[in-house]
Amino acid sequence: MDVLKAGLEHEEYVTSLINDIYAAAYENKDFRTMQFLDWFVKEQGEEETNAHDLITKMELFGSDPRSLYMLNQELAARVYSAPSLVL
């Protein structure tokens, strides 16, 4: 559980960094950068949600080996996508 909570804390930190960059782009009316960052804002929101969900599942599962095995299988099946870097 400590690892999952540390992961959530890290995701929240990354979110704050992205928000700072977005705020600077907004202040400078750098709309192309804001558009580029939109994907990262959306993706980071999903990552925070995933981290919260994992903590919730671990609280429900406890140390039941079968549940932990199922959770491991679920996580192994995750697919990641990269952003389009075309501006």
The residue ranges of every structural domain in the chain are 2-76
pLDDT per position as a tens digit, 13-38? 999 999 999 999 999 999 999 999 99
Across the range 48-59, mean pLDDT stands at 92
What's the pTM value of the predicted model, to 2 decimals? 0.76
Q: With a cut of 70, say whether residue 39 has pLDDT above it.
A: yes
Q: What is the pLDDT of residue 20?
A: 98
Q: What is the pLDDT of residue 84?
A: 62
Q: Report the interhelical angle of 31-61 vs 2-27 (nearest 10°).
A: 160
Cα separations in angstroms, 23 against 43, 52, 69: 17, 25, 41
Class of domain 2-76: mainly alpha
Instruction: Give the residue from 11, 80, 18 showing the smallest Cα distance to 3.
Output: 11
